[in-house]
Amino acid sequence: MSPTTPCPCGRVNARQKPLAYADCCGRYLDHWDATPAPDAESLMRSRYTAFVGERADYLLATWHPSQRPATLEFDAAAKWLGLAV
């Protein structure tokens, strides 16, 4: 995902402009070991973005070990329509 594209999670700034991936969920997905999502909403948004971008590494890292599957398979036909919070 390009750092400048609008983040799939749909978060907007104070002017109601979409945040870029790098300024939104990208900082958590690309650096999850050093920069965890700071709150439940950011975690939910970043996990949605990870599903859109098929980022199994992030999804598995943020899934509780007692509940996470051994592997993830993504459906190529899945169409992600958006996230409403």
pLDDT at 1: 84
Is 61 buried (19+), middle (13-18) or exposed (0-12) by CB count in 10 A? Answer: middle
Q: Are 11 and 23 in contact (CB under 8 A)?
A: no
With a cut of 90, say whether residue 53 has pLDDT above it: yes
Separation of alpha carbons 22 and 55, rounded Å: 15
Cβ of 8: how many Cβ atoms within 10 Å? 21
With a cut of 90, say whether residue 83 has pLDDT above it: yes
Mean pLDDT, the chain, rounded, equals: 95
With a cut of 90, say whether residue 9 has pLDDT above it: yes
Q: Residue 6: helix, strand or coil by DSSP? A: strand
Name the token pair of 28.
Answer: 């958590």
